[in-house]
Amino acid sequence: MASEGTSTVPRMGSFKRSLLGYRRSDVDAALASRDARNWALERDAQEVLARCRESDEAAAQAEQELGSLSAMVIEREREIRGLLARLNEANERHDRNVASLESVSARLEEIQAQARGQATRIRMKALREAVEVGRRAQELSEAQAGAAGLTAGRSNGNGNGHAEPSARDVFEGLVKVEIGPLDDFSQLVGFEDAAGQIGATSEISVERFSEGRATLSMRLSEPTDLLHELEQRSPLDFRVRRTADDNVVLDIDDEAGPDQRAA
């Protein structure tokens, strides 16, 4: 049977023949060469086999590392999906909170608008009432002043026994007027308005109001018969207790009727 591959044994024709056959030295040399080549081939085969085994081990280790890396990648993907889900939930919650805040802000703006409107209506109502009260007080003061003028015209004096002005009745500059007892603050307001209607009055203010008595500070721009002017305009009947150069003390007439004691 023919052998496969290239033969390592020299062809028989290459051996020199001797008397009894081929030379033994040539045959031994050929066999030795064949054995050496066989050993070299076996060594190379063992090295290749060792390298194959190392390659298999490296491949197995690489496959094991690949499996570990794959597991890590899968775990990271799972964590990423969880984080994305929580992020989406947080975004939705934030959107709901923003919508709620916008609704609350809109409601607050509506309430503020209503409050501003209500405050404006209250101020307008108070202003109208104040104007009406002032108008009525002015009408009452004018009516009382007219009645006092008629009474003074029919008599040579006035209701308080004050006839022609004397030097002590004429005031100019800063004057303190104390009056009382007053039943309530509205009487003080009425008296202050009456004093403010005097033509020479440039400034007037309430300095003190305590225990039913009030002190007003008046500045008169010209010499004025202050008591006469107050009697003509004041809605209250009073008696003069004391006068000085820069102050007057008046007492409310206790015998005055309710209409005269009202502001």
- 150 domain-assigned: no
Same domain, 168 and 252: yes
Give the percent of the chain with pLDDT over 90.
24
In a domain, 182, yes or no: yes
* CB-CB contact of 228 with 162 (8 Å): yes
Query: Do residues 172 and 104 share a domain?
Result: no
- If asked whether residues 119 and 223 sit together in one domain, one would say no
Report yes or no on 39 lying in a domain.
yes
pTM (predicted TM-score): 0.36
Residue 5, in any domain of the structure? no
Mean pLDDT of the chain: 79
* Number of domains observed in the structure of the chain: 2
Q: What is the DSSP letter of 236?
A: S
Residue 125 and residue 24 in one domain: yes
Q: Are residues 101 and 200 in the same domain?
A: no
pLDDT of 161 strictly over 50: no
Q: What is the pLDDT of residue 212?
A: 86
Q: How far is it, in rounded angstroms, from Cα 21 to Cα 15?
A: 10
Half-sphere CA count of 56, side-chain side, radius 13 A: 6
> Are 128 and 161 in a shared domain?
no
Q: Does residue 220 sit in helix, strand or coil?
A: strand
99 and 31, same domain (yes or no) = yes
CB atoms < 10 A from the CB of 263, how many? Answer: 21
For the stretch 203-212, what's the b/e string if a residue is b when 16 or more beta carbons lie within 10 angstroms of its beta carbon?
ebeeeeeeee
Query: Do 92 and 30 share a domain, yes or no?
Result: yes
Determine the pLDDT at residue 1.
Answer: 44
Identify whether 3 is part of a domain: no
Quick: pLDDT tens for 212-225. Answer: 899 999 999 999 89
Predicted confidence band of residue 90 (pLDDT cuts 50, 70, 90): very high
Q: Per the domain annotation, does 140 fall within a domain?
A: no
**Cα separation of the two ends of the chain:** 153
Q: Identify whether 206 is part of a domain.
A: yes
The string of DSSP letters for 169-211 reads TEEEEEEEEEEE--SSHHHHHHHHHHHHTSTTEEEEEEEEEET
Residue 36 inside a domain? The answer is: yes
- Look up residue 234 and give its amino acid: S
Confidence of residue 46 (pLDDT cuts 50, 70, 90): very high
**169 with 242, same domain?**
yes
58 in the same domain as 23? yes
Same-domain status, 200 and 93: no
Q: What is the pLDDT of residues 98-129, one digit of tens each?
A: 988 888 988 888 898 788 777 767 866 776 67
Give me the domain span that covers residue 41.
17-132
Residues 127, 188 within the same domain: no
